[in-house]
Amino acid sequence: MPESTPVKRTLGVCYYPEHWPEAQWAQDAARMAETGLTWVRIGEFAWSRMEPKPGQTDFGWLDRAIDTLGAHGLKVVLGTPTATPPRWVVEKYPDMLALDKDGRVRGFGSRRHYCFSHRGYRAECARIVGLLAERYGANRFVAAWQTDNEYGCHDTTLSYSPPALAAFRDWLAKKYPSPQLLNQAWGNVFWSMEYESFDEVGLPNLTVTEPNPSHVMDFRRFASDEVVAFNRIQTEIIRKFSAAPIAHNYMGRVTDFDHFAVGKDLDIASWDSYPLGFLSDRIEVTPEHKLHFMRQGDPDNQAFHHDLYRAVGRGRWWIMEQQPGPVNWAPYNPDPLPGMARLWAWEAFAHGAETVSYFRWRQAPFAQEQMHAGLLRPDSVAAPALAEAAQVARELTGMPDAATGKAEVALVFDYASAWAWKTQPQGRDFDYFRLVTSVYRGLRGLGLNIDIIAPDTADLSPWKLVLIPGLATLSGPLAAALAAFGGQALFGPRTNAKTADFAIPVPLPPNLPGLDCTVARVESLPPDAQVPLVGGGAIIHWHEVLEGTADVVLSSASGAPVIMRSGGLSYIGGWLDPVALAQVLRAHCSQLGIPVTEMPYGLRRRDSATHRFLFNYNAAPVHFEGITIAGAGVHWRPL
Ligand code: GAL
């Protein structure tokens, strides 16, 4: 990870001046400053107020809002409003609305109602972004930008609309020199799916049974490229007028587009962290775990995303939206334990965040998110998180600049592999994100710092141990880096199991030079099925039959090879349960001289460049290494 210049750690908040009477703005700004906040993100949904009618703009209110915030010493993150095109834009381009997989229009009346491929909508976005950039590019209070809002939120990356179809055909014609080569790449001879022209290719929905997986994969690659192109239009315009850094606010567990590719056009990666919402509906854990951490959030989920977005941001990352109290959108929306709004912020800082910005300043009494807490209640009385934010602000004054701690372990994360295993799970429970996060949990349970790295990482020398689970296709740069790597690499299951065209490679996977190990057969396992292993633990969800002459370092209870190894390369032929995984990780760390600590349940550790942090996600205190950490408490000491 490149060294970033030290940046002061700061707090911020998301604010919607257009929701409140102008007379209130100055009081709000004064109170934000008094709380110790530095940043205020505004503007990202305000297009109907910036341009109420086509070409009829009104930026006066935004000028005054920015001035008011700036006058109180606050810095503004200005959002481009393209996630919420107003009604008149939709009237102008009725076909800009996305179609879902079933061909239904995703209509006006909430947000993100656009198809990334619609050229007219892109031009409209370029226009409004150009107006904003020109007007505020040199504004001394506008110190950062945010493009759009949460690309992919509400399942909006993939659109099956006519503009998407036209753009997909163009994309294919650029990728493949001829329809015959497309046919060959996709294997279209199967079921007589061959095409004579790119114009005959449709979108991979509304087929009788499953579409060709190579077709689906190309459609997903195309859709991801469309997000990159859409975002790039905005960054290129903003950069013409402004030297301020540009961010986008990504989400938790959204894998439909390649965030690394989008991130290359941005200066800062940020993500929106809603620990209780995620635990309630986006993580596969037991009901007991959900209950135990219901008011705290999963102890590993935030950290995983922090490490992921540090990689996406090439070292620079923020929390753009931090949950302050109950949200409105999960199946159940409990109140966080007192202390969690502080703990979550400190955990982000421990992982290298520059800024943590709470969502939102004041709870809105109207519209979709009226049940979503803010730092203030709708009546402006402080909600519990306000005092916690103020406490973090005070504590920050005694802390050094943001600086990421060193990790000896790296874990590869690849968006295309998430698409691959969504396209062909071959078993209901095989989910790439779940697989990678299960490995991440295992590492965190041993108290380790972890770097998440991109699938085209070309130099592995900073790490001793590199884990590469489920990487569908090994990239050229990573293969070269592995050949030069002096540490230990742990692959599998399903690593290098597909060609770039999404076919089974021959020689069969994993086909790793220097490791004579072949996956002869695979099987997926239903929920309660297990393949028990020698020494305890078991394979769950996914099991591979391995052949070859490499050393067998772990076997199943029935004597079949489960991990095969040669020199620094090891291949795991299955999805290890937490017990087996911990044993394998411990053994590798001990061989590599990486110190591990068995972390107590719900207690997590992270070293920044200067401090060791402990986060107690339990409601009850934990005693650990001679100290007591209060429930929902944070402890740190200089390294
Ligand atoms: C985020 C979004 C915000 C707000 C928030 C509520 O997904 O960016 O605009 O909707 O969720 O939790």
Say whether both 231 and 329 belong to one domain: yes
Of 483, 409, 420, 416, the C-alpha closest to 451 is 409
- Counting ligand 1 atoms within 8 A of each CB, the residue from 369, 370, 371 with the most, and so the one to mutate, is 369
Is there a single domain that holds both residue 121 and residue 199? no
| Nearest-CA residue for atom 10 of ligand 1 | 369
Catalytic positions are 150, 321
Pocket test for ligand 1, best of 84, 272, 280 (most atoms within 8 A of CB): 272
Cα 639 to averaged position of ligand 1 atoms, centre (Å): 36
In the numeric block, which tokens belong to residue 81?
């409003």
Residue 5 lies in a domain: no
Which residues have C-beta atoms less than 6 Å from ligand 1? 149-150, 153, 272, 274, 321, 327, 329, 359, 369, 372
CA–centroid distance, 360 to ligand 1, in Å, is 9
3-state secondary structure 504-525: CCCCCCECCCCCCCEEEEEEEC
Tell me the C-alpha distance between 533 and 520, whole Å: 19
8 Å CB contact between 412 and 457: yes
Provide, rounded to the nearest whole percent, the portion of the chain with pLDDT above 70.
99
Q: Whose CA is nearest to atom 11 of ligand 1?
A: 272
Q: Answer whether 497's CB lies under 8 Å from 469's CB.
A: no
Mean of per-residue pLDDT scores for the chain: 97
Is 536 within the bounds of a domain? Answer: yes
Looking from the CA of residue 153, the nearest atom of ligand 1 is 7
Range of the domain at 168: 164-215
- DSSP β-ladder status, 518-524 and 488-491: unpaired
Residues 419 and 526 in one domain: yes
Number of domains forming the structure of the chain:
4
DSSP 8-class letter at 365: S
What is the number of the ligand 1 atom nearest to the C-alpha of 249? 8
User: Please, which pLDDT band fits residue 403 given cuts at 50, 70 and 90?
Assistant: confident
Pair (387, 303) in one structural domain: yes
Residue among 253, 257, 242, 251 at smallest CA distance from 270: 251
Last residue of a domain, one of 190, 215, 240: 215
- On whether both 615 and 577 belong to a single domain, the answer is no
Distance 349 CA to ligand 1 centre (A): 21
Nearest Cα neighbor of 341 from 273, 394, 287 is: 273
Is residue 571 domain-shared with residue 488, that is, in the same domain?
A: yes
Residue 236 to residue 197: CA distance in whole angstroms:
34
CA distances from 274 to 265, 329, 350, 437, 491 (A): 25, 10, 18, 17, 31
User: Residue 503: which CATH number?
Assistant: 3.40.50.880
- Same-domain check for residues 50 and 180: no
| Mean pLDDT to the nearest integer, 305-317 | 98
List, for residues 95-122, the tens digit of each pLDDT value.
Answer: 999 999 999 999 999 999 999 999 999 9
- Residue 440 falls within a domain, yes or no? yes
Atom from ligand 1 closest to the CA of residue 149 = 8
Give the span between the Cα atoms of 462 and 470, in whole angstroms: 22
Q: Which atom of ligand 1 is nearest to the CA of 150?
A: 8
Q: Are residues 192 and 117 in the same domain?
A: no
The answer to the question of residue 308 being in a domain is yes
For ligand 1, the distance from its centroid to the CA atom of residue 148, given in whole angstroms, is 12
Q: Over 50: is that where the pLDDT of 3 sits? A: no
- If asked whether residues 151 and 246 sit together in one domain, one would say yes
Q: With respect to residue 401, please indicate whether it lies within any of the assigned structural domains.
A: no
- Where is the domain boundary, 195, 215, 235? 215
Q: Is 181 helix (H, G, I), strand (E, B) or coil?
A: helix
Q: Looking at the structure, do residues 150 and 40 belong to the same domain, yes or no? A: yes
For tokens 């334990």, the residue is 337
Identify whether residues 480 and 624 lie together within a single domain.
no
The answer to the question of residue 598 being in a domain is no
pLDDT in tens, 184-233: 999 999 999 999 999 999 999 999 999 999 999 999 999 999 999 999 99
Domain-located, residue 398: no
pLDDT digits (tens, 9 = 90+) for 334-354: 999 999 999 999 999 999 999
Residue 367 sits in the same domain as residue 497? no
Q: Quick one: what percent of the chain has pLDDT higher than 90?
A: 97
* 403 located within any domain: no
